[in-house]
């Protein structure tokens, strides 16, 4: 199986080949600064910027802060970036792949056959001595059509059921899981029965993913045995995709995403909340 990750050296070679991949810049962080501003200061040559809030999600509402994008919205964004079904795609962000993984998961969910994440992101690219560009490429002539549903998802009811009968992983920081802080969502705490599994613990200090053997050991400790009975949530469905990428690296392919995540769950007063 081809790894969902690509190194900076591998990407440089691929970009210099007769069939280079489409590059997607997915820089984003909660509370800013806007990724477009960082993109304008310098990006991988030829990369197209995609706005996570505006293009990789529908407007916030009852379904959470980052609902899955409508087919038309995602198709338009990917075509503008030059995405086609027959050309590889590589997504990257500033370094930790927390937002690039959202693009990876979405393209897989949408039916794209070849999407990878630059391990270590922009930081790894620069550390490898590779150049940046401030030129914005022309809009691509992509022809990719989103066909949603190629990866599994669960709704709030399904998440609650897995918390009781399977395994529901909470990818947020431990202090948010425990309810000690809640910077953005209506209530603090976690889905009752969920297991705390901060996705940042899947990374080494330089922002690259841990080796597959270490990830596998971590998920074994967390209780992952059957991906078909495992789901992941976070604050709004972004970092949960990063956890799903780590699970796949560890050999656990097929776990589900709860797209609404805590932003949807906590906004419904009928949903119970656990703390501690």
Contact (CB, 8 A) for 171 and 234: yes
Structure tokens at 254: 């097929």
Contact (CB, 8 A) for 119 and 6: yes
Cα–Cα dist 93/73, whole Å: 21
Q: Is 4 a catalytic residue?
A: no
Rg over CA atoms, the chain: 18
Structure tokens at 274: 């656990």
Catalytic member of 22, 151, 197, 234: 234
Cα–Cα dist 48/140, whole Å: 9
Long-range contacts (CB closer than 8 Å, 24 or more residues apart) made by 65-72? 65/184, 65/185, 65/235, 65/236, 65/263, 66/102, 66/236, 66/237, 66/238, 66/259, 66/263, 67/237, 67/259, 67/260, 68/106, 68/109, 68/148, 68/153, 68/237, 68/259, 69/106, 71/146, 71/148
CB-CB neighbours of 209 under 10 Å = 24
φ, ψ at 177 (rounded to 5°): -55, -45
| DSSP bridge pairs for 90 | 23, 116
Cα–Cα dist 213/167, whole Å: 21
Active site residue ranges: 234
């Amino acid at each position: 199986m081809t790894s969902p990750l690509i190194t900076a050296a591998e990407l440089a070679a691929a970009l210099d080949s007769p069939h280079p991949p489409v590059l997607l810049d997915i820089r984003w962080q909660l509370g800013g600064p806007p990724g477009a501003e960082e993109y304008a200061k310098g990006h991988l040559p030829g990369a197209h910027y995609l706005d996570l809030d505006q293009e990789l999600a529908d407007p916030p509402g009852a379904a959470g802060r980052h609902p899955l994008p409508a087919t038309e919205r995602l198709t338009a964004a990917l075509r503008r970036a030059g995405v086609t079904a027959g050309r590889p795609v590589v997504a990257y962000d500033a370094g930790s792949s927390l937002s690039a993984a959202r693009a990876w998961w979405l393209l897989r969910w949408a039916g794209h056959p070849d999407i990878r994440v630059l391990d270590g992101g922009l930081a790894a690219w620069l550390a490898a001595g590779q150049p940046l560009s401030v030129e914005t490429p022309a809009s691509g002539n992509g022809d990719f059509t989103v066909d949603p549903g190629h990866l599994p998802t669960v709704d709030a009811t399904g998440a609650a059921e897995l918390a009781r009968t399977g395994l529901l992983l909470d990818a947020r920081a431990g202090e948010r899981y425990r309810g000690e802080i809640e910077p953005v969502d209506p209530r603090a705490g976690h889905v009752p029965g969920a297991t705390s599994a901060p996705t940042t613990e899947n990374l080494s200090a330089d922002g690259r993913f841990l080796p597959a053997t270490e990830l596998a050991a971590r998920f074994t400790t967390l209780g992952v045995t059957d991906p078909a009975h495992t789901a992941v949530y976070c604050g709004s469905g972004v970092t949960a995709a990063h956890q799903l990428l780590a699970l796949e690296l560890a050999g656990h392919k097929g776990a589900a995403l709860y797209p609404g995540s805590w932003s949807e769950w906590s906004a419904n007063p009928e949903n119970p909340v656990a703390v501690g």
